[in-house]
Structure formats: C-alpha cells, structure tokens
C-alpha cells in the first residue's frame, strides 16, 4: 500500500493541473473563439450564392459571428471577397474593423476536381486562431476523435475531441453555392461594402457573452471535422498575396496568441528516495508557411 501512495499522489496532482487548465476554457482565449468555422462552412452549404452567404454570416439568427474586434459594443460586419484561378476559388471572410483596417478571419478553399465533383475546406487565420485551423466536411459525423494536431492542446480545450482521422473525402458538388460559382454565367463575387457603406438589411447586434455564445458553436459541429492538412492544397498560393491583417488585432491579442503558440506543461515527478520535483516541458507551435 505504501508503494502505491506516491503514484496516487502524482495522479492527484496531475488531475488538479488538468482541471485548472479546463477551467481556463470558460472564457474565450483567442479572438477566433468568437467565430465558428464549422458554422461558416455550414452557412456556405446552405447558401445559393456568395452574396447570400455573406448575408447569412451577418445575420444575428445564424449564431456564427460573435466578433467585436474593434470593441465598439457591436458585432463586426464580415464581408466576403473571392478570387478564381482555373478550377480553384477562394472566399476570404474579412472583418471590417475600421475605416482603415480589416482582418482576415478565414478563407474557404474550393476546387472542382471533376465534371460533378468538388472538395472544400475552411482555414482559420493564424492571427485569429493562434495557428491555421483547418476544418472540412465530415458528412457521416463519425470522424471525431482526439488527433495529433497541435490544435488539440490549445488553451480552449473544447477543440480537443474534434479531429478527424478517417480521411473521408466529401464531394460538395451538390451544394447550391458550389453549383452557382461554377456556372458559366458566374461573376467572381467581391463584396462592395465598406466601413461606412452597409447593406440596407444589415442590423448590428451586441455580442453575446461567452457563456451564452459557446453552446451555439456545438450546434454546427456534427458534420465538420478539424484536420491537420489542407484538402485544397493549390489554394494557398492564390490566397497568400491577398491576405489582410490588422495591427490593432495583432497588438491587442498578442499575449493570448503567443501563449497559445508556446505551451508549457508542468508535471510532478517522483524521484529517488521519495523526493518529488517539478518537470517543465515547452512545446512551440510552428506557424505554417
């Protein structure tokens, strides 16, 4: 029995540390926590066009956008800017922060791979999510388990069980918006709206408290999975030259982002002769290029 006590002590301390970390997820840790990537991809699936998609993103009833990056007390308008090269199209979701600044939230990457086949993913911006967070459809809802991506160890631990390892490729050709953008008459959508010019239907609303907003994030997660690699690999060189970042966002959230990218894990180790000591390991999340 005496030999079991040190082991039990280690388990108790480790469990306490883990509980303290979980408590930290009761508030948003990163700016992207207030925007659901799964929800955005689901709205794209529901939309008949990029213009309708932008409208849904900026609808209070969608419960996807809860961003207030300029901290003016109202949710920010998110516009959609697209670009096409051959059979690949990217849709940039961009937060209009002020008259002079915008911040990319994420980019939807779409590729037509055959006469009636297309694949899609959405990639959260590293300045919003700490690193590029990649989400793709997982229609059977069975691909959720703990993965090896560094995203699983972020401070907001609700992501830990949202990783897909089954490698299922979902054909999104039947999505109405996908058919729309590959129609011969389609003109690439670039949102005309600015800081001063909003659509007549737009009514900003006050952001929800985290405890209220967080449950809505789960609503969209049954059919989407966080993965570690892009599905549309040729989209990155198309998007990178047009990426937009905000000095305001970077400065305001620099500490949270840096804390996310460098995670320190503390473990109590039982040494010789019954002595205990603390072992600290540091894991640095590398930014994708």
Q: Is residue 113 part of a domain?
A: yes
Q: What is the mean pLDDT of each run of 10 residues along the chain (289 residues)?
A: 49 40 59 97 98 98 97 97 98 97 98 96 97 88 37 38 57 97 96 97 96 90 89 96 96 90 60 54 54
Q: 65 vs 29, 36, 61, 93, CA distance in Å? A: 16, 7, 10, 11
pLDDT at 10: 45
Q: Is residue 289 part of a domain?
A: no
pLDDT at 154: 39
pLDDT at 70: 95
- The 10s digit of each residue's pLDDT in 2-50 is 555 454 444 444 444 333 333 345 667 899 999 999 999 999 999 999 9
Report how many domains make up the chain.
1
Decide if 59 contacts 75 (C-beta within 8 A): no
Q: Is residue 170 part of a domain?
A: yes
Name the nearest CA neighbour of 149 among 27, 275, 288, 247. 288
Got the DSSP string for the chain? -TTHHHHHHHHHHHHHHHHHHHHGGGS--SGGGGB-HHHHHHHHHH-SSHHHHHHHHT-GGG--B---TT-SSSPPPEEEEEEEETTEEEEEEEEE-SSS-EEEEEEEEEEEEETTEEEEEEEE-HHHHSS-EEEEE-TTS---B--SSGGGGSSSGGGTT-B--S-PPPP-TTSHHHHHHTSTT----B----SS---TT----PPPPHHHHHHHHHHTGGGEEEESS-SSGGGHHHHGGG----HHHHHHTHHHHHHHHEEEEEEEEE-GGG-EEEEEEEEEPPPP-
pLDDT at 223: 86
Q: Is residue 264 part of a domain?
A: yes
Q: Is residue 14 part of a domain?
A: yes
pLDDT at 234: 96
CA distance 281 to 286: 16
CA distance 148 to 234: 24
> What are the structure tokens assigned to 66, written together?
């809860």
pLDDT at 247: 96
pLDDT at 17: 38
**Residue 87 belongs to domain spanning:** 4-284
Name the nearest CA neighbour of 42 among 25, 65, 67. 65
pLDDT at 9: 46
Q: Which residues contact 184 (CB under 8 A, 6 or more apart)?
A: none
pLDDT at 267: 56
Q: Is residue 43 part of a domain?
A: yes
pLDDT at 160: 36
pLDDT at 76: 98
pLDDT at 284: 56
**Neighbour order of strands in the sheet with 102-114:** 78-85, 88-96, 102-114, 117-124, 133-137, 224-227
pLDDT at 147: 36
């Amino acid at each position: 029995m005496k030999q079991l006590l040190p082991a039990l002590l280690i388990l108790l301390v480790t469990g306490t540390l883990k509980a303290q970390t979980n408590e930290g997820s009761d508030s948003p840790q990163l700016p992207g926590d207030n925007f659901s990537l799964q929800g955005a991809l689901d709205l794209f699936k529901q939309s008949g066009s990029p213009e309708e998609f932008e409208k849904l993103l900026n609808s209070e009833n969608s419960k996807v956008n809860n961003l207030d990056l300029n901290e003016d007390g109202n949710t920010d308008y998110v516009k959609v800017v697209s670009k096409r090269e051959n059979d690949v199209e990217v849709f940039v979701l961009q937060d209009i922060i002020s008259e002079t600044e915008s911040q990319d939230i994420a980019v939807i990457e779409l590729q037509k791979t055959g006469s009636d086949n297309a694949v899609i993913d959405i990639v959260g911006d590293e300045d919003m999510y700490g690193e590029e967070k990649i989400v793709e459809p997982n229609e059977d809802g069975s691909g959720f388990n703990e993965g090896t991506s560094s995203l699983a160890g972020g401070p907001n631990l609700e992501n830990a069980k949202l990783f897909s390892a089954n490698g299922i490729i979902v054909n999104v050709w039947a999505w109405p918006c996908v058919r729309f953008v590959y129609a011969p008459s389609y003109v690439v959508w670039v949102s005309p709206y600015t800081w001063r010019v909003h659509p007549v239907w737009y009514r900003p609303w006050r952001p929800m408290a985290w405890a209220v907003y967080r449950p809505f994030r789960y609503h969209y997660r049954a059919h989407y999975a966080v993965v570690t690699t892009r599905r549309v690999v040729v989209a990155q060189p198309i998007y990178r030259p047009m990426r937009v970042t905000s000095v305001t966002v970077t400065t305001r959230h620099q500490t949270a982002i840096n804390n996310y990218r460098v995670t320190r894990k503390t473990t109590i180790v039982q040494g010789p002769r019954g002595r205990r000591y603390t072992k600290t390991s540091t894991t640095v999340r590398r930014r994708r290029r």
